[in-house]
């Protein structure tokens, strides 16, 4: 039977105190996520149980028990403290999906630091924007990414320590750079954790917006309560499961459910540190007998494109529960998974800001293909009017709204309390996503209510791309939108006007694409560029992305009374 039991009955008897009791936590107690995911599991008699099975692209495999993970996290925490880093310092994790990333995250929390995970494909521009805003004190990275950090370090006065986890000694390290070898450091058996309380800051995740710099969503150690119980009820994690979350910890799914939720439940996790390839993914599931799989619609649609025959070549009978996150899961993908795996993917909805799943499909509950499901027990959700932000009737499209107060809710935007407060209207947290509720209480996603681009489950801010484009010598103006895409949901499309002396060409097109890829990240790189003579602007000079989007998709442009020029 599923952990959640009957969804309807759980709604009636649920309280967050269920999770507190199971975690042996009482209000006012010390609650350090790093300790709860390691030492606590060992005290439960699971010290010799596998915590992590890690496989890299070359095929090498490493395995770590909960006790080994505990000691490695202690060793990292001790090392960071020895550098003079203190509780509250923002410490960035800028690595591929290697063991040091996962254990480093726990080590930072153990010593009281604020973990700041960033996607390792970020370029120098994306990196400096987030490190500068956070006032980051240290960054843990690999030698393959060190050149990016060195390009920006002189512009980051707060960044005092650059820690390289795989330094090979071939080139000398510079001032402020130190080498750390997790496997060779003297192991720290006992470490006095920082006595974090419920509201002690834990993780700072950056999310993109439509205007201005990316915003840092600040979470606290009490988020563990939501992440633990939602991993148990939604992902249906049990003691004997082998769990695979495909998300990178540079994004919130990779920390909330790729680190915290699973290990707080004492579950064995698998990590594949390699790019997407259907053959290697199916091999990985078969090899390690994965039972619970949490992935993204982009990956699922990519697997669909590879066809059904490759699935039949593998023994995937270990799988028992499938979930999806990051963007809406189309009905076709759910139907396909039932056909080839004998199991439906269960769509889940949440955000960087919510910190944990807030709307979902649940084990044992009827799945309506294409639906987001129903609110998690303990979450009060509704749909509010687009303008008045008051709850509206069934079947009408509005904005998803959540009643504040769940444990994993972000506590502020870093140094941006004004924008944080603007997210709360009429006693609701406004998610910024449009949806409707059907007569059975199921939620149905319609689209974003802003210009943020959802490409492959990753949110990309158009403003950041537009700003970077203007740094290219040929670009005079730019407007960026998300263009519908059958696999990635959306891809970045840029409309560009060129400066005098430059003419549209395939060469300049490719040059601009690569410029953004190196400066920001592959996710931010425009997949299509359209050179135009002018861009639609308001009379105040603001580029109207919605007009560009409407032109692209053939939708009604709507009110254009504020346009600078007639169309």
Per the CB < 8 A criterion, the answer to whether 304 and 336 are in contact is yes
More reliable by pLDDT, 237 or 486: 237
What is the C-alpha separation between 53 and 62, in angstroms, rounded?
6
Q: What's the confidence (pLDDT) of residue 457? A: 77
Average pLDDT, integer, range 98-113 = 98
Q: What is the percent of the chain where pLDDT is above 70?
A: 96
Average pLDDT, integer, range 474-499 = 90
Joined tokens for residue 115: 């973990």
Least confident window among 117-126, 394-403, 476-485: 476-485
Direct distance between the N- and C-terminal alpha carbons of the chain, in angstroms, rounded to an integer: 60
pLDDT score of 450 more than 80: no
Q: What's the confidence (pLDDT) of residue 208? A: 76
* DSSP labels, 347-406: EEE--TTT-S--EE--TTSPP-TT--BEEPTT--EEEE-TTT--B--TT--EEEEE-S--
Give the position of tokens 């600078």: 564
| Tens of pLDDT, residues 204-237 | 999 976 666 899 999 999 999 999 999 999 999 9
Task: Report which of 229, 217, 290, 291 is spatially closest to residue 262, judged by C-alpha positions.
Answer: 229
Least confident window among 497-511, 512-526, 553-567: 553-567
Joined tokens for residue 96: 């591929």
Average pLDDT, integer, range 256-277 = 96
Task: Report which of 458, 478, 464, 470 is spatially closest to residue 534, judged by C-alpha positions.
Answer: 478
Query: Based on C-alpha coordinates, what's the Rg of the chain?
Result: 23
- Give residue 538's pLDDT band: very low, low, confident or very high (50, 70, 90): low
Average pLDDT, integer, range 359-383 = 96
Q: Which residues contact 504 (CB under 8 A, 6 or more apart)?
A: 498, 531
Per the CB < 8 A criterion, the answer to whether 286 and 255 are in contact is no
Burial of residue 80 (CB within 10 Å: 0-12, 13-18, 19+) is buried
Measure Cα distances from 175 to 89, 127, 145, 159, 179 in Å.
Answer: 20, 20, 17, 12, 12
Mean pLDDT of the chain: 93
What is the C-alpha separation between 301 and 527, in angstroms, rounded?
18
Average pLDDT, integer, range 318-346 = 94
- Give residue 540's pLDDT band: very low, low, confident or very high (50, 70, 90): low
Joined tokens for residue 397: 């499209």
pLDDT score of 565 more than 90: no
Task: Report which of 462, 500, 458 is spatially closest to residue 479, judged by C-alpha positions.
Answer: 462
Q: What's the confidence (pLDDT) of residue 556? A: 63
- Structural domains in the chain plus CATH codes: 7-435 (3.40.50.12780), 453-553 (3.30.300.30)
Dihedral over alpha carbons 118, 125, 149, 120 (to 10 degrees): 30
Joined tokens for residue 125: 């521009």
| Tens of pLDDT, residues 36-57 | 999 999 999 999 999 999 999 9
Residue 515 CA to its chain's centroid (Å):
25
- Give residue 554's pLDDT band: very low, low, confident or very high (50, 70, 90): confident
Q: What is the percent of the chain where pLDDT is above 90?
A: 80
What is the C-alpha separation between 466 and 239, in angstroms, rounded?
47
- Give residue 459's pLDDT band: very low, low, confident or very high (50, 70, 90): confident
More reliable by pLDDT, 69 or 169: 69
Considering only the C-alpha atoms of the chain, give the largest distance between any 2 of them, rounded to a whole number of Å. 72
Which ranges of 65-190 would DSSP assign to H, the alpha helix?
66-82, 99-110, 124-134, 146-152
Q: What's the confidence (pLDDT) of residue 503? A: 94
What is the C-alpha separation between 387 and 336, in angstroms, rounded?
38
Whether the CA torsion 8, 12, 13, 14 is positive or negative: it is positive
Average pLDDT, integer, range 509-538 = 91
Burial string for 522-540 (b: 16+ CB within 10 Å, else e) reads ebbbbeebbbeeebbbeee
What is the C-alpha separation between 269 and 109, in angstroms, rounded?
20
Residue 195 CA to its chain's centroid (Å):
27
Measure Cα distances from 455 to 102, 294, 326, 467 in Å.
Answer: 25, 18, 9, 19
pLDDT score of 150 more than 80: yes
Query: What are residue 498's phi and psi, to 5 degrees?
Result: -95, 155
Average pLDDT, integer, range 113-136 = 96
Q: What's the confidence (pLDDT) of residue 69? A: 98
Task: Give counts: helices (H), strands (E), the chain.
Answer: 19, 27
Q: State the pairing for strand pair 61-65/50-56.
A: antiparallel
Task: Report which of 400, 401, 396, 421 is spatially closest to residue 411, judged by C-alpha positions.
Answer: 421
Helix axes 462-469, 506-519, angle to 10 degrees: 120
What is the C-alpha separation between 429 and 420, in angstroms, rounded?
10
Burial of residue 84 (CB within 10 Å: 0-12, 13-18, 19+) is exposed
What is the C-alpha separation between 436 and 476, in angstroms, rounded?
40
- Give residue 562's pLDDT band: very low, low, confident or very high (50, 70, 90): very low
Q: Which strand (E) or helix (H) includes residue 469?
A: helix 462-469
Q: What's the confidence (pLDDT) of residue 567? A: 38
| Tens of pLDDT, residues 63-96 | 999 999 999 999 999 999 999 999 999 999 999 9
Burial of residue 173 (CB within 10 Å: 0-12, 13-18, 19+) is middle
Q: What is the DSSP letter of 195?
A: -
Query: What are residue 287's phi and psi, to 5 degrees?
Result: -60, -40
Q: What's the confidence (pLDDT) of residue 560? A: 47
pLDDT score of 539 more than 60: no
| Tens of pLDDT, residues 269-295 | 999 999 889 999 999 999 999 999 999
Q: What's the confidence (pLDDT) of residue 561? A: 37
pLDDT score of 22 more than 50: yes
Query: What are residue 554's phi and psi, to 5 degrees?
Result: 80, 15
């Amino acid at each position: 039977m599923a952990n959640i039991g009957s969804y309807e009955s759980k709604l009636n008897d649920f309280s967050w105190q269920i999770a507190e009791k199971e975690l042996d936590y009482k209000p006012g107690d010390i609650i350090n996520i790093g300790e709860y995911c390691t030492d606590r599991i060992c005290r439960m008699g699971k010290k010799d149980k596998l915590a992590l099975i890690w496989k890299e692209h070359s095929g090498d495999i490493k395995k770590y028990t909960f006790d080994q993970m505990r000691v490695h996290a202690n060793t990292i925490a001790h090392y960071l403290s020895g550098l003079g880093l203190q509780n509250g310092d923002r410490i960035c994790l800028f690595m591929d999906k290697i063991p040091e990333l996962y254990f480093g995250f726990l080590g930072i929390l153990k010593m009281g630091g604020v973990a700041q995970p960033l996607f390792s494909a970020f370029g120098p521009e994306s990196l400096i924007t987030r490190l500068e805003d956070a006032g980051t004190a240290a960054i843990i990275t690999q030698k393959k990414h060190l050149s990016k950090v060195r390009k920006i370090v002189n512009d980051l006065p707060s960044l005092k320590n650059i820690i390289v986890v795989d330094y090979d000694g071939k080139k000398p390290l510079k001032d402020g750079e130190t080498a750390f070898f997790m496997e060779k450091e003297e192991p720290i058996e006992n470490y006095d954790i920082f006595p974090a309380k419920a509201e002690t800051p834990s993780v700072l995740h950056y999310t993109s917006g439509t205007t201005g710099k990316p915003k840092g969503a600040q979470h606290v150690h009490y988020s563990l309560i939501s992440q633990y119980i939602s991993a148990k009820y939604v992902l249906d994690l049990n003691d004997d499961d082998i769990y695979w979350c495909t998300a990178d910890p540079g994004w919130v799914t990779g920390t909330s459910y790729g680190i915290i939720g699973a290990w707080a439940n004492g579950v064995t996790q698998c990590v594949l540190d390699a790019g997407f390839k259907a053959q290697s993914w199916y091999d990985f599931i078969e090899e390690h007998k994965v039972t619970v799989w949490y992935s993204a619609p982009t990956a699922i649609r990519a697997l669909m494109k590879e066809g059904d025959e490759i699935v039949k070549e593998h023994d995937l009978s270990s799988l028992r529960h499938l979930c999806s996150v990051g963007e809406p899961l189309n009905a076709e993908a759910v139907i396909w998974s039932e056909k080839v795996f004998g199991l439906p993917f269960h769509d889940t909805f949440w955000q960087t800001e919510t910190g944990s799943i807030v709307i979902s499909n649940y084990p044992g509950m009827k799945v309506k293909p294409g639906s987001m499901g129903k609110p998690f027990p303990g979450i009060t959700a509704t749909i509010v009017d687009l303008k008045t932000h008051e709850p509206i009737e069934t079947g009408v499209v509005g904005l998803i709204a959540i009643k504040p107060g769940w444990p994993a809710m972000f506590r502020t935007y870093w140094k941006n309390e004004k924008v944080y407060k603007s997210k709360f209207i009429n006693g609701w947290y406004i998610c910024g996503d449009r949806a409707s509720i059907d007569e059975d209480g199921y939620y149905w996603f319609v689209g974003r209510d802003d210009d943020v681009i959802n490409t492959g489950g990753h949110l990309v801010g158009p403003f950041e791309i537009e700003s970077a484009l203007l740094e290219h010598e040929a670009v005079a103006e730019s407007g960026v939108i998300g263009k519908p895409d059958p696999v990635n949901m959306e891809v970045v499309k840029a409309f560009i006007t060129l400066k005098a002396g430059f003419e549209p060409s395939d060469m300049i097109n490719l040059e601009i694409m690569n410029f953004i890829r190196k400066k920001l990240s592959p996710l931010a790189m425009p997949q299509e560029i359209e050179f135009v003579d002018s861009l639609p602007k308001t009379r105040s000079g603001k580029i109207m992305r919605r007009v560009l989007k409407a032109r692209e998709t053939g939708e009604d442009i709507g009110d254009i009374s504020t346009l600078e020029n007639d169309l």
